[in-house]
Each structure stands twice: as C-alpha cells, then as structure tokens.
Structure 1
Amino acid sequence: MSEPPTTRLLPWVSPDGKTCILLSEGSGESGFSRVADRMEDVQLEMADGLLDHAADMLGDGTATDRQLRFLGEQLSAALRDVRRVAGSRGERLSAGG
C-alpha cells in the first residue's frame, strides 16, 4: 500500500498572491522540495542581513524619510517571508516530516 501524499506550503505565492502548495508522493523529498528548502534558507539569510542593515541605518541618524520608508517596506516583506517559512516548517514538524 502506498503512503498518502504529503503537502507542503511553499515559500512563495503565485503572481496574484495565492498560496502555493506542493503535493508529493511518499516522504515529500523531491527535487522541487529541495528547491523550496534552499529558497527558505535564502529568505532567512536575507532577513538576517536586512536586520543588520536596519540596525546600522537607524543607529547612524542620517537616514532620510524616503530611506526609512523603503527600509520599513523591506522589513515588512522579510517578516512576511519569515512567517511563511516558520508556518511551513511548523506544519512539517507536526506532521512528522
């Protein structure tokens, strides 16, 4: 008897903002799953770098309103990515995968 398919929340959305899900046979380990793993790693690394940049920018006191607004937009996008990664990993942990 074959294992039921596994689902995985992917670390991106469709062009119209809809959730993307990967449906896999068996363990859920596939080439596409590894691409998603790497994308999650990149998103987390970028969020770390952005936090360092934000600390520097806020600490120096010379940032313009426009620069701070852009920083806020990028921090918001990074936080959205990190939440998505955390949700996906939490689902996989609770499913035993």
Structure 2
Amino acid sequence: MEQPQSTDPEPAVRLLPWTSPEGEPCCLLPGTGDGYLSRLADSAEARQLAVGADVLAVTRQVLDDPLSPHAELRYAGLRLAECPGAALRVAESRGMRLTGDGSHRGGA
C-alpha cells in the first residue's frame, strides 16, 4: 500500500538565539519542536526579549533625569545597543519558522 504524500512543508532549520564560540550562527535541525534544545531556545529567546524590555525601561529613566551621571548614560547606551541584536535574531528565527525558509541570511 502506497503512503500518502504529505502536502505540509518540511519544518525549517531553526536559528538558535546564541552563536558558537567563533561567533557563527547555531541552528537546530527540524524535529517535533518540543525537544530539550527547542525548549532551551524558547526560554533563551523569552529571556532576551525580557532583558531588552527591562533595559529600555531603565534607559528611559536615566534619560529622563537631566542630572544622570555620564557613566550611567554610557552604561545605559551600551546595554541598549546590545538589545536590538538579540531581538532581531529572535525575530529572524521566528520569521524563518513561520515562512518555512530554512536559509540563514546572517546579521544579528
């Protein structure tokens, strides 16, 4: 008996929210999406986005205070500069999974 062909697209390779020690992107091969590494990546993505929201809130407080010391402004700016990279990586990973595009374009 012949097996019916699935019309569902094959799941895309998942871009993970971390890089290798050499700075190269890390990807997870398709699977069920509920394995240990998938759950770890989900948790890391959620943490990265939460940290970004916290940094944004603190930075707004620092910028709203006209007497904020230069060191505080610099630290807030440095931390704020890190956050878009993490958020863009999460967005790229999620977008790849939504479109089924397993290719990685680099970037964040």
Q: Shorter-chain-normalised TM-score: which range?
A: 0.7 to 0.9
Equivalents in 1 of 2:52, 2:43: separation in Å?
14
Q: Is the 8 A contact 1:13 1:20 kept in 2?
A: yes
- What percentage of aligned pairs have identical amino acids? 37
More strand per residue: 1
Structure 1: 5+ residue runs without aligned partners? none
Structure 2 match to 1:7: 13
Tell me the CA shift for residue 5 of structure 1.
Answer: 6.7
Greater RCO structure (CA 8 Å; 6+ sep): 2
Relative to structure 1, the CA distance from residue 93 to residue 4 in structure 2 (aligned partners, 3 Å threshold; closer, same or farther) is closer
Q: Does 1:35 find its partner at 2:40?
A: yes
TM-score (norm 1): 0.84
Equivalents in 2 of 1:62, 1:89: separation in Å?
40
Structure 2: 5+ residue runs without aligned partners? 4-8, 102-108
- Deviations along 1:63-82, one digit per CA (max 9) or x if unpaired, are 22222122111111111100
Structure 1 match to 2:27: 21
Q: Is the 8 A contact 1:10 1:21 kept in 2?
A: yes
SS at match of 2:40: helix
TM-score (norm 2): 0.76
Runs of 4+ in 1 over 2 A off after TM superposition: 3-6
Q: Does 1:51 find its partner at 2:74?
A: no
More helix per residue: 1
Alignment counterpart, residue 76 of structure 2, candidates 50, 59, 71: 71
